[in-house]
């Protein structure tokens, strides 16, 4: 019998699923979808917390007891760097360090690592009284940086930012806190991720 695949998810509130049920975050919805389609997966291992920046995620990884390797690894981090007004250059170097580590966790297989772009929170009610155009521009700049790093290291890149911007006209895509994605939005991300993971697994 085929052994179950493993998935490590590194990130912040968008990975842990702030303001939704734990089963509704994108790592768990992805695994649920894959299992439903007949793929054997262990529960996802998640190293993520609301508010984390790149350096805080790095510290958590350094202090976390992780397996030597995983079949697949996702990385989604950076919104809190942007929120705290840090430079893109500072973010890019720390993100690259995290990505290199993610590749190591994936047994050195870069094509088994998936970077997800940073969602745009400027469209949320939380951002109503802020410089929303400036936030959107900064998010784009951050995503240009992480996409360039992802391409340089030949990992998979899933752009979820356009999807997150649909919340401007669809409040059902935003959680009750007025800031984070809803389970419905996470489901869209998990569909993209599960399609990719299926393509990588020989049944």
In sequence order, the 6+-apart residues with CB closer than 8 A to the CB of 25 are 15, 16, 17, 46, 186
pLDDT digits (tens, 9 = 90+) for 111-158: 999 999 999 999 999 999 999 999 999 999 999 999 999 999 999 999
Q: What is the mean pLDDT of residues 102-108?
A: 97
pLDDT number for residue 1: 45
Tell whether 142 is covered by a domain.
yes
Residue 128 lies in a domain: yes
2 has pLDDT over 70 = no
What Å distances lie between residue 202 and 71, 182, 194, 197, CA to CA? 13, 32, 14, 10
| Residue 13 covered by a domain | yes
- pLDDT of 190 over the 50 cut: yes
In a domain, 2, yes or no: no
Q: Which residues form the domain of 55?
A: 7-200
Q: What six digits make up the tokens of 153?
A: 């290291």
Domains: count for the chain: 1
**CATH code assigned at 121:** 3.40.50.1110
Whether 180 is in a domain gets the answer yes
Q: Would residue 1 count as lying in a domain?
A: no
The whole-number pLDDT of residue 61 equals: 96
- Domain membership of residue 53 (yes or no) is yes
Supply the pLDDT for residue 3.
Answer: 82
pLDDT per residue as tens digits for the range 12-71: 999 999 999 999 999 999 999 999 999 999 999 999 999 999 999 999 999 988 998 999
């Amino acid at each position: 019998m085929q052994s179950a695949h493993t998935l490590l998810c590194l990130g912040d509130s968008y990975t842990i699923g702030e303001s939704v049920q734990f089963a509704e975050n994108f790592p768990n919805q992805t695994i649920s979808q894959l299992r439903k389609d007949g793929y054997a997966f262990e529960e996802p291992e998640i190293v993520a917390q609301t508010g984390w920046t790149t350096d805080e995620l790095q510290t958590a990884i350094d202090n976390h007891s992780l397996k030597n390797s995983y079949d697949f690894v996702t990385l989604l981090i950076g919104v809190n760097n942007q929120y705290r007004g840090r430079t893109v250059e500072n973010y890019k170097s720390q993100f690259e360090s995290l990505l290199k580590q993610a590749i190591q966790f994936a047994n050195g297989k870069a094509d088994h690592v998936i970077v997800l772009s940073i969602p745009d929170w400027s469209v949320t009610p939380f951002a109503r009284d802020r410089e929303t155009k400036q936030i959107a521009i900064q998010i784009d700049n951050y995503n240009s940086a992480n996409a360039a790093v992802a391409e340089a290291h030949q990992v998979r890149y899933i752009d979820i930012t356009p999807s997150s911007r649909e919340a401007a006209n669809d409040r059902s895509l935003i959680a009750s806190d007025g800031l984070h994605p809803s389970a419905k939005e996470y489901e869209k991300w998990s569909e993209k991720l599960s399609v990719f993971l299926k393509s990588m697994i020989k049944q």
